Structure 1
Amino acid sequence: MHVVPLPALADNYIWLMHDDAGQAIVVDPGEAAPVEAALAARSLRLRAILLTHHHSDHIAGAATLRDRHGANVFAPHDERITADHRVGDGDVVALEQPQARFEVLQVSGHTRSHIAYAGEGLLFCGDTLFSLGCGRLFEGTPAQMLASLERLAALPGDLMVCCGHEYTEANGRFARQVDPANAALALRCNEAAEARAHGRPTVPVPLASELACNPFLRTDSSSLADWARRQHAADGRVERFAALRAAKDAFHG
């Protein structure tokens, strides 16, 4: 299976997957035009659309693509999303064209009904997990988001993280403020800066890299615990995570 990040809107990625026979899937099409261009350029047939959550920058192109191509739309149990198939935690999306299989994981926090899809060596995590960051808490609590991130962190480290936005450089600037001695993080930031300087995306990235670099996956580390104490955060895993997320919300570096 081939995977291609399609830049869309201001900083979104729509994810396109296709096999050698020309059968394709897209994830979170916030607009239709980039998908149509990519399908035409590669002579692909769109068979399925996977949606992670209801925000318009992830679903606004889905109806147009569904109508034009007859593709089946898979989405969480959320009345704010139009879908052919509702899927939730523990469900499996098994496709025949292209032949692909994805496990569905409930990852609430950014939104109440957010889901992720894991399979074919890929993790489509929408706005729950970003490279070097995580999503804002629009409809969930710190405890919910921390639990969701822990679920993702427990997946195989060789999964390639396919997130919804190109936020890596900005996330990296914050991450280095809270975890300045992390050598793996410094290397990742340098690699991301070089990629962007040459017009390349910073994702997908192995989940193992995020486990080593992403402060939101490292709240149990001694360095992040030390940081939380300096912020006078209450002692506890959820409290450390909440302090970290609040600091990121206020960060303008």
Structure 2
Amino acid sequence: MSVRLTNIQHFSLDDGPGIRTTIFLKGCNLNCPWCCNPETISSKIEKYSGDNGLVGFDIELKDLEDEILADKVFYDDNGGLTLSGGEPLLQIKQIEPLLKSLKRQNINICMETALFAPLNYLKIAIKYVDEFYVDIKILRKDKCKEIIKGNLDVYLENLKYISSLTDKITFRIPLVNEYTLNEENIELILNLLEKYSTFNVEIFKVHNLAEEKYKNLNKNFKKFSDVGDGKVEEIYGKIKKVNNNVKIIKL
């Protein structure tokens, strides 16, 4: 059994607690205009005009497990594996034997997910994932469908499901002037955060650093206007009134 990745990142410090090995699974069912990892959107191996001419590779689960366990000495009490992407839930069936093996060896597992995936996929993940990092993007149903191609009902159902089974959830909110920072969306986000007020919240500004990736993949790239520090502080203050577990991060 193999899975398709774009990268294995060792000694990662921003993808969960402690020192982690982050694997980026290839394939996503959303199309967020601000995505900073466009190479993970398509599930196909793609032509790339940069380094080696291709982006994406298949790896056998045993070989991937060996890579992960080679880092075990660095994990200490908090570190472990982080599943990222792309949308890691889309390959959860293929990767389940690896997760089962890692849990037997007491490896902590985190997942970064947008939650726009079938519930039965999430029911597999919940058996192995210790902590979820969940995006909050666009919460108006028609705009969610129009802009990022997501079904908001699926997202909300999945969030309700995992929150009934674990409190190890951190929300991540991308701040994008053109899409997520309008007054209506912020109000909807605040309402959601108030409902889940015990979960951690991380907010961050999007950046234009992925422009070269888009060019190498022959994809259109749209630059985003800078979100000023004052605006970030304003959103931080609003969130803090409904959820005290908020912090500003850089990704």
TM-score normalised by length of structure 1: 0.33
Higher relative contact order by CA 8 Å / sep ≥ 6: 1 or 2? Answer: 2
TM-score of the pair, normalised by structure 2 = 0.34
